[in-house]
Structure 1
Amino acid sequence: MSETVDWGPIRELARRVLTEGERLALTRNEKALLKRTAAEVGISASEAKSALATEEGALGLLQEESRRIREGTRRLMDALHRMYQHKDEGDFVSARQEMRDVLAVEVVPHYRAIAQGQLEAMADEPQQGERIPGASPRAVFARRIPLRLRGR
């Protein structure tokens, strides 16, 4: 999934329903939101359709969507942090492994795409236990992503 996702509306619905106890109304808009989000978090259309047939199923679907977004966000952010630490130390094998570990368990297509992109971005870096001798955080950081100024 290459497009940007907007999970603000589903997070807001989850907050209202799962945290504040508001009833899930299952309006046309709420059903459309739950169905769209299901696809965005790796839940099949048939599973979503089945869940949306009942209020209890829809509530379960909302809980699962919210869980996948929350846990996937945490998993990816933690792995990215560790990946950059490894890269700063010149340990690209461990940095790659962080992204492979995410890909081994992550089901949300958006998060998988980010992890895969990070892994691909390290393709030209040292392989098989190689380290960049004397790598300093500043030297490695400067190699991360070239800065492109807008309008130039």
Structure 2
Amino acid sequence: MNKTIDWGPIRALARRVFTEGERLALTRKEKALLKRTAVEVGISDSEAESALATEEGALGLLQEESRRIREGTRRLMDALHRMYQHKDEGDFGSARQETRNVLDVEVVPHYRAIAQGQLDAMADEP
């Protein structure tokens, strides 16, 4: 991906709402953040627009965005760790499989791009 991803604001909003009990205000700024993040985590514009029509939908959208970021981060980091272990052992087939496993299930474009980049970088390896 060409642009820089900054999920700090959405993580902070999710923490305030789900951990600290703050009400989701759905200000213009919060709606813009939720909409922008939706695209970044693989949720369509139409799904995001529909969710933002109600407070309940917006809470669900925030929860799903947060979940995709959290689970995608964990999945990718774990796979990269295992991939590098396999590479260090000279097992490039297993290393490639780790990245393919991520690509099989990942929906967040940023994480998919990272996994695909790692897979592409191993194309010339045995």
TM-score tier after normalising by the smaller chain length: over 0.9
Q: Which residue number corresponds to residue 53 of structure 1?
A: 53
With normalisation by structure 2, the TM-score equals: 0.99
Offset of residue 19 of structure 1: 0.9
- Is 1:8 aligned to 2:14, yes or no? no
Q: Which residue number corresponds to residue 119 of structure 1?
A: 119
Q: Which residue number corresponds to residue 107 of structure 2?
A: 107
Structure having the higher Rg: 1
Counterpart code for 1:102: V
The two structures, once aligned, show a CA RMSD in angstroms of 0.5
Offset of residue 72 of structure 1: 0.1
Offset of residue 4 of structure 1: 1.9
User: Is the helix fraction higher in 1 or 2?
Assistant: 2
Q: Which residue number corresponds to residue 91 of structure 1?
A: 91
Offset of residue 2 of structure 1: 2.9
With normalisation by structure 1, the TM-score equals: 0.82
Offset of residue 3 of structure 1: 1.9
Q: Which residue number corresponds to residue 80 of structure 1?
A: 80
Q: Which residue number corresponds to residue 44 of structure 1?
A: 44
5+ residue gaps in structure 2?
none
5+ residue gaps in structure 1?
127-152
Equivalent residue pairs, number? 126
Whether contact under 8 Å (1:2, 1:113) holds in the other structure is no
